[in-house]
Each structure stands twice: as C-alpha cells, then as structure tokens.
C-alpha cells in the first residue's frame, strides 16, 4: 500500500486535486531534466542559454538549442504519470495541472485543465513586435526573422522574465482552493513557480511531494513519496479505485 492513513483520508474526502509538476514528470518519457543526474544543465550553463541576454548575444546558438529540444519533445510520448493524471479526472470533479514544463506532454496526455507557467516550446513569437509564430516549420538552425525584421524566439520564460500573468493567477487560485496538491518531479528551486505548493500549505491543505529525492521544500510538506512519478502516480490511482467510484 502506497497511501499513508492521512493521505488516504484526504483522498477519500477531496474534491479538488492539483498536480504541480516539473521536469521529473517527463523524465520517463525521455526528456532530460535540468538539474541532478542526467540534467541538461550539467552540460550547459543556464545563464548561457536561458536568458534574453544570451539570446541577444548568440541568437543562433540559443535557437539551435531549442530546435534540438523541440525535436526531442515532438518525438516522445506522455508516460504513465501523465496518463494517471488523465485518469484522476474520472474520480475527482476538479483536477488541475500547474506545470513548469514547456513540453506539452500534459495536454497531449489528455489532462484537461493545464496552466503552463514557463510557456510552451511549440509556440514562438517575435521578440520585437510580439507577433505569434506558432507551429511553423523552421527548417534550419539559424534563428528566423519576423516580417518586421525582429528575431523570432521560443515562447518560454527565461530567467529574469515575468511569468504569464493569467496562467500564474489561475495556478495560484487552484493551489489556494484545492484539497490536495501533489508536487511531482520538481527541484522546487525556481521562483516564483516554487511558491505554488507553499500557497496550498498556507491555506491549510495537504501537500504530497513525489520525487526521487528530498528537495529544498520537502520539510514544508506533509509527506514525500519517494519514487518515479511513472510508478508512484499509477500506484496511488489503483488504491483510489478501491474507495472511490468513477464520476457519473
Ligand atoms: C523525478 C524523476 C522521476 C527526476 N520521477 N521525480 C525568489 C523569488 C522570485 C524569483 C527569484 C527568487 N530568487 C531568484 C529568483 C530569480 C529566478 C530564480 O528562481 N532563480 C533560482 C534558480 C534561484 N527566477 C526567475 O528569473 C523567474 N522570473 C522572475 O523571477 O521574474 C521576476 C521579474 C521579472 C521582471 C522584472 C523583475 C522581476 C523566471 C524563471 C524562469 C525559469 N525558466 C526555466 C527555463 C524555461 C525554458 C526552457 O526550458 O528552456 O524553466 S529554468 C528551468 O527550471 C525551467 C524549469 O521549468 C525550471 C524548474 O526546473 P524543474 O522542473 O524543477 O526541474 P529540475 O531539473 O530542477 O528538477 C527535476 C526534479 O525531478 C529533481 O528534483 C529530480 O530528483 C526529479 N526527478 N526524475 C520523479 N522519474
Ligand atoms: Zn516582428
């Protein structure tokens, strides 16, 4: 049995569940995490690639890095963790995903209410006039230009940039009004996103971390379930099926 008595009690009575997710939930799909073992940033320094200054200094290199990751994300598929969240939707009237991931895997898995705090790698916009360039085929690795002459950039949030205000507000609202929040596969060190699960705690509700290791925030949460997201979330769901009926 994976559920503690207290978590089982919470999940028996809960109506609103939030999944706050990070790169670790996509690791089993074959998308690298940023930090830790196998993390992309063991090889590349974030400030060299994930900032507007870096883009202005070496736009082709940054663009090529995103093209490389875009191809990976396009070729992989959602894993058992994303799919378990889709199935949670059958048992709880409100299941909200607040993700730091830009890989679109939640939506591809059928997660219905998804707020993307750090953007989406499948979208682009002009850094000068903000015109959108979504789902365009950009064939070569040189950064494309907008019809206004500006450089086209991926629609992701770099260091020092604001998060999309509507997505952040919706994520905060969900975190403050849920019964149980699962913080899955995130190192919980990048702010303001990392405030989300703390807001649930502040509202007096239950927070469960699912991760391979302890994180910066483990001590604030009600419990840590150590393990792979793709194993832990389906195991939780199997136990839920023993005490909850699917919604009509
Ligand atoms: C598994 C697993 C498996 C593995 N199963 N688990 C305090 C308050 C506010 C801001 C700051 C602050 N202090 C510092 C800041 C600034 C900065 C920040 O947070 N820096 C910290 C690093 C210290 N924040 C910002 O700059 C943000 N903007 C901002 O603050 O604006 C304010 C402002 C704006 C304008 C004017 C004035 C002020 C923006 C942050 C943007 C982050 N962007 C990135 C890149 C996105 C694009 C891209 O992908 O290229 O987002 S950085 C990167 O980190 C990415 C991620 O979403 C984010 C979080 O990483 P995540 O998801 O947690 O991944 P990992 O790799 O760190 O962790 C993986 C975890 O999974 C590990 O724990 C593993 O153990 C686990 N795992 N396999 C379960 N199978
Ligand atoms: Zn433009």
Residue spans per domain, the chain: 1-31+78-118+163-243, 33-75+121-156
Write the CB contacts of 153 (distance below 8 Å, at least 6 apart in sequence).
55, 63, 124, 125, 126, 127, 143
The CB of 235 under 6 Å from ligand 1? The reply is no
Residue 135 is predicted with a pLDDT of 67
Q: Indicate which residue's Cα is closest to atom 39 of ligand 1.
A: 159
Q: Indicate which residue's Cα is closest to atom 59 of ligand 1.
A: 190
Q: Indicate which residue's Cα is closest to atom 51 of ligand 1.
A: 118
Phi/psi at 145 (5° precision): -115, 150
User: What amino acid positions are annotated as catalytic residues?
Assistant: 118
Residue 39 is predicted with a pLDDT of 76
What residue ranges of the chain have pLDDT lower than 70? 47, 135-136, 138
| Structure tokens given for 64 | 């090529």
> How far does the centroid of ligand 1 lie from the alpha carbon of residue 98, in Å?
13
Q: 104 with 88: CB under 8 angstroms? A: no
pTM of the model: 0.97
**CA distance readout (Å), 3 to 29, 97, 131:** 25, 21, 48
Runs of H (alpha helix) within 100-228 = 105-109, 165-177, 195-202
What is the fold of 1-31+78-118+163-243? Rossmann fold (3.40.50)
- Look at residues 118, 155, 218, 36 and name the one whose alpha carbon lies nearest to residue 106: 118
33-75+121-156 has the same fold as 1-31+78-118+163-243? no
Report the nearest atom of ligand 1 relative to the CA of 160.
26
The CB of 160 under 6 Å from ligand 1? The reply is yes
CATH 3.30.70.580 assigned to domain 33-75+121-156? The reply is no
Residue 138 is predicted with a pLDDT of 67
Residue 178 is predicted with a pLDDT of 98
Residue 47 is predicted with a pLDDT of 67
Q: 69 with 76: CB under 8 angstroms? A: no
């Amino acid at each position: 049995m994976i559920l503690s008595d207290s978590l089982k009690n919470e999940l028996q009575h809960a109506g609103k569940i939030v999944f706050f997710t990070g790169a670790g939930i996509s690791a089993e799909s074959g998308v690298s995490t940023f930090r830790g073992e196998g993390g992309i940033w063991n090889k590349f320094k974030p400030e060299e690639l994930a900032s507007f200054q870096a883009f202005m200094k070496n736009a082709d290199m940054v663009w090529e890095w995103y093209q490389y990751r875009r191809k990976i994300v396009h070729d992989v598929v959602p894993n058992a963790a994303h799919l378990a969240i889709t199935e949670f939707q059958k048992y709880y009237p409100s299941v909200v995903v607040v993700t730091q991931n830009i890989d679109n895997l939640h939506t591809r898995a059928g997660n219905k209410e998804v707020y993307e705090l750090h953007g989406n790698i499948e979208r682009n916009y002009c850094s000068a006039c903000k015109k959108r360039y979504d789902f365009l085929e950009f064939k070569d690795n040189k950064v494309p230009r907008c019809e206004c002459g500006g450089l086209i950039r991926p629609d992701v949030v770099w260091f020092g940039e604001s998060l999309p205000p509507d997505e952040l507000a919706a994520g905060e609202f969900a975190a403050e009004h849920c019964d149980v929040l699962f913080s899955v596969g995130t190192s919980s060190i990048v702010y303001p996103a990392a405030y989300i699960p703390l807001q649930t705690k502040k509202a007096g509700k239950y927070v469960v971390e699912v991760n391979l290791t302890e994180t910066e925030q483990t001590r604030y949460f009600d419990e840590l379930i150590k393990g792979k997201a793709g194993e832990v979330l389906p195991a939780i769901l199997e136990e839920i099926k023993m005490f909850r009926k699917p919604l009509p």
